[in-house]
Amino acid sequence: MKKSIEAYKFDSIPNSLKNEAENILNEYKINYETIDFNNTNVSLIISFMAEKAIAVLCGELVSEKLFQVSKAGFPGCNKNSIDSVFQKIISLMQNGDSIEFLTTSDDHHLDFNNAIESIDYRIRAEKILIKKDLTNFLPVKFPAITSRSIKHFDRSVFLKQLGYAIESDPFEDSGTTDPEKEYEELKQNAGNQFKIDDWRLYLIENDIVGFSCPSCFPGQIEEGTVLNIGVSPEFRGKGIGTIIHKLSLERLFNLGVKIYYGSTDVRNNAMVEIFKQNECPVLCHRYFYKKDCLL
């Protein structure tokens, strides 16, 4: 789950919109002059990270971005102001270039989902988001399967497993099919919580049967995820993925993680089944909308 704050500069916009955005920022005591705007202008958005309001901003779209949009997360904020901004978002989306938006099945997103579908935005991808409480996690034992840190193997061994995982998941949108680049992206996602000892290759006797990359979230060590997981092609369909996932949850628990988050495309039947087998409840569905695009 994304934890970083993204913000965007005001540029070439009507003063009325700028003032409205500034007023909402001020309500949350956020000074836009102190935020790193990364020289990016975007269509008017309501952005929130980790269910907390960050900013309401507007500008001209110059590059495609992925946004979370919500009318929720603004406790105490004037409802009329939020509704007004919400309508401006729809207007800008209707008249501007196609942007990709991330929403959910939560009730507070339904109005937005219906509105953007009315202007020809369609779901490009749908994922389930799961959340599991690990507070009372019980140790597990699978004596036939052992694991070792990836540091004990040649780099090429782990990259080969990553390659298998990439090839077997046509729904993953990480943006790369190169195992080397995927490895670097995984480390970047782990940030300061990257611990090579916890990234494991799993073995039955001397055969590598799969891998997993569990990690705490940077700056949120009581929450974590499994950044990537895979089973070697010749060992698929035997329940090994469920075991590796269970062992990965145990590793997160031992790291002090109390809440586990996971996500997968609704069409990834193997991973959906693993979540079910390991009693990981669905928190919500996440919809990735884009103009004139069908799932």
Residue 35 falls inside a structural domain = yes
Provide the pLDDT for residue 223. 94
- The model's pLDDT over 244-258, given as tens digits with 9 standing for 90+, comes to 999 999 999 999 999
The residue out of 69, 87, 119 marking a domain boundary is: 119
User: Which pTM does this prediction carry?
Assistant: 0.72
**Is the pLDDT reported for residue 25 higher than 70?**
no
- Highest averaged pLDDT of the listed ranges 52-66, 85-99, 165-179, 276-290: 276-290
**Is the pLDDT reported for residue 39 higher than 70?**
no
How would residue 73 be classed by pLDDT, with cut points 50, 70 and 90?
very low
- The model's pLDDT over 3-12, given as tens digits with 9 standing for 90+, comes to 222 333 334 3
280 and 153 inside one domain: yes
**Residues of the chain above pLDDT 90, percent:** 46
- The model's pLDDT over 175-232, given as tens digits with 9 standing for 90+, comes to 568 999 999 999 988 999 999 999 999 999 999 999 999 999 987 889 999 999 999 9
What range does the domain containing 89 cover?
Answer: 15-119
| Euclidean distance between CA atoms 122 and 113, whole angstroms | 9
- Highest averaged pLDDT of the listed ranges 9-18, 35-44, 81-90, 202-211: 202-211
204 and 108 inside one domain: no
Q: Name 45's Cβ contacts closer than 8 Å, sequence gap at least 6.
A: 8, 56, 57, 58, 67, 69, 89
**Is the pLDDT reported for residue 260 higher than 90?**
yes
Higher pLDDT, 85 or 273: 273
149 and 78 inside one domain: no
If phi > 0 it is left, if psi is from -120 to 50 it is alpha, else beta; for residue 134 that is alpha
Task: Tell me which residue of 213, 195, 196 sits closest to 153, measured CA to CA.
Answer: 196
**Tokens at 116, concatenated:** 């953007």
CATH code of the domain in which 225 resides: 3.40.630.30
Residue 291 falls inside a structural domain = no
91 and 152 inside one domain: no
| Euclidean distance between CA atoms 108 and 83, whole angstroms | 13
137 and 270 inside one domain: yes
Provide the pLDDT for residue 79. 53
The residue out of 119, 140, 156 marking a domain boundary is: 119
Residue 22 falls inside a structural domain = yes
113 and 221 inside one domain: no
Amino acid at 219: G
Ranking 74-88, 130-144, 147-161 by mean pLDDT, the lowest is 74-88
Q: What is the mean pLDDT of the chain?
A: 74
Residue 233 falls inside a structural domain = yes
Ranking 58-62, 161-165, 250-254 by mean pLDDT, the lowest is 58-62
104 and 146 inside one domain: no
Give the chain's largest Cα–Cα span.
Answer: 68
Residue 60 falls inside a structural domain = yes
* CA distance to 47, 130, 237, 248, 277, per residue, from 271 (Å): 29, 11, 12, 14, 10
236 and 151 inside one domain: yes
Residue 230 falls inside a structural domain = yes
230 and 189 inside one domain: yes
159 and 112 inside one domain: no
**Is the pLDDT reported for residue 147 higher than 80?**
yes
170 and 113 inside one domain: no
**Is the pLDDT reported for residue 162 higher than 60?**
yes
Tell me how far the alpha carbon of residue 75 is from its chain's centroid.
24
Number of domains comprising the chain? 2
The residue out of 119, 143, 178 marking a domain boundary is: 119
In this structure, are residues 260 and 280 in contact, taking their beta carbons and an 8 Å threshold?
A: yes
Amino acid at 158: F
143 and 272 inside one domain: yes
